[in-house]
Structure 1
């Protein structure tokens, strides 16, 4: 077989036979320096002719470089350009080079749709990444210290002392309100904590994961794809999130029914206007670090009452209503309903409600442990007004159960369950 390069003149240097132009000859006009092109100046108009290769195009050159033809003459290649530019690659500017006026700067590389981090240590403005978190933490601590100092100063004033004496922090509640906590409250408390931890975790995964571990499609007409809706393909994480939502809502429904049926609602629902001055009194006492006397077995203080009321009767319904709007359960053919309740509204509500639940849980756990841990844990997990270790033991056991469930929510264990409820794909 005859190679087309072998048809070239044997005397021609190898670089010219391969399509790379030789250096300018002594009698040719001097080529423009390559540095000018790197700095953004127009390339030199001086060109040198070269014989075309047997294939009709300049070998190794840019694909658009025409070969010689009878009408146009031999192909012309700019020998002033650097070798890698003649090979079709862009010319990177040398370090410290200043682009010419009007030149378009090169687009920086991206990282998952964002500018690539420069070493991961600094932000685009040059500040280290740890500056903002540290500044926010310092700001919170300064505000907390100022609140403590202000509250302690207020408690030295006679009018404030009289106000706290009049409103000790416990608002009125009906005389028929039950005393103590039944066993079902402890079970409901555990299940609510169990589901909320996993729901928050999977919700954050849905928002942050770049590549889901798999996808799930509901069976037509199933619970996850009501009649009239086209089965949607969602990530396995979203399927798990919605499944946990269903269990959490069932637990909440049982809780509300029992709360109303047993009269326990009177302990967590404000029943008088004195809730407001008692909330202020409780807030001053907490902020001054001289906390009000706690006896949750008989009567919650005003801030506890309003916090439980908001959590059960406002935050939980908002989480459900906004979650249904952005889930596969929303009826896709209800155009008027969708227009009246845009999905953007639901997204704007869903995340702040999640943040509220996280903040409520953090404050709740803090106060449980710093206002009599053993007694409070017995109230919550053993339904006894005693000071012993059983409540703490059951609480620690519940944490172990939650940790095991956290591990079992990995795709390795959830995929077979999802496959029984729909179609799993990659």
Structure 2
């Protein structure tokens, strides 16, 4: 192998005569000897070491022997038979087949070969793919398709300029023509304080809201009292809770003090089944559920930290709490409730529990992201529906390991789900 090196030089450097001269040494600097360091100096025997100022390169090629491979097959018109079996005698072959079929290894061998054989059987190319089959059958009637039309559009009447997204909608119980709507944009509120009004609409009048709710900060959730339809309670974006009277509108009738409120925004509020009908509870990303009484909002009546501990001796901590995204409450089970968390858990709670494990007795690893909906089946209370990430799942309290029914991952993210009141199916 020949290696050729090429050296380049600029043209104006050609023919220049080098000029050398003799010059004596010059003292640039003189550093005195440090006596303390000089005592530690140890003489060393002369050491010889070779030094090369240019890197060394080498190239090597190796050709391995090439292995030649061929693919060949064999066509068995009749299976492989032992030498002592006469393949022309039907009785001898039948007798040998019965002997082999009684062997235990025969069943395992057939089961292992069946998937591969099924694959080639299904590839039968004897079917005419261009022929129209079953043309003589009568056509089926088209399935009934559900549809809806827009009756009214209830627009946000704020004059702030920017459009506000709807954060919650609540229908008035036992009355089908009023509903409350709250508007809140969490990201924009942190930067600029826009309009905070929420409205109660009458379905018969889409031009103007019936009542205007004026909270001090935007409302994230607003719920009607199931007993007194004129009272509404809501959760504010600054962590406080309050209540309003529909007959008066305007500002809140009362709010909780900031030092007992949630540490972050309040995502959900729900009324509970109590004797007075004035109690509700709230939850938010701070990882705490708090129970309140409208008659006295100076402090919560009860509080549970959503921290699932492993033993009764563990202490619940707000540092390990799971942020709450959705609340669920069934009035027929007054002491029980369920919460969906930001990390995909659905936690079942018991307000009457004394130890941390009795307060949060069960958890379900429902989704890989935040849980957006949790709702019990109105006919079978042990079953509940969860919505999160891209799936909808149905769970049973008797089975915590896996969902009973779950949908395949959808193309788009699902944000809400509920049970049909007639068919008990999810929408």
Whether the TM-score (by the shorter chain) exceeds 0.5 is: no
TM-score interval, smaller chain: under 0.3
- Structure with larger Rg: 2
TM-score normalized with structure 1 length: 0.18
The higher relative CO (CA closer than 8 Å, separation ≥ 6) is in 1
Q: Which has the higher strand share?
A: 2
Q: From the two aligned structures, give the one with the greater helix fraction.
A: 1
TM-score by length of 2: 0.18
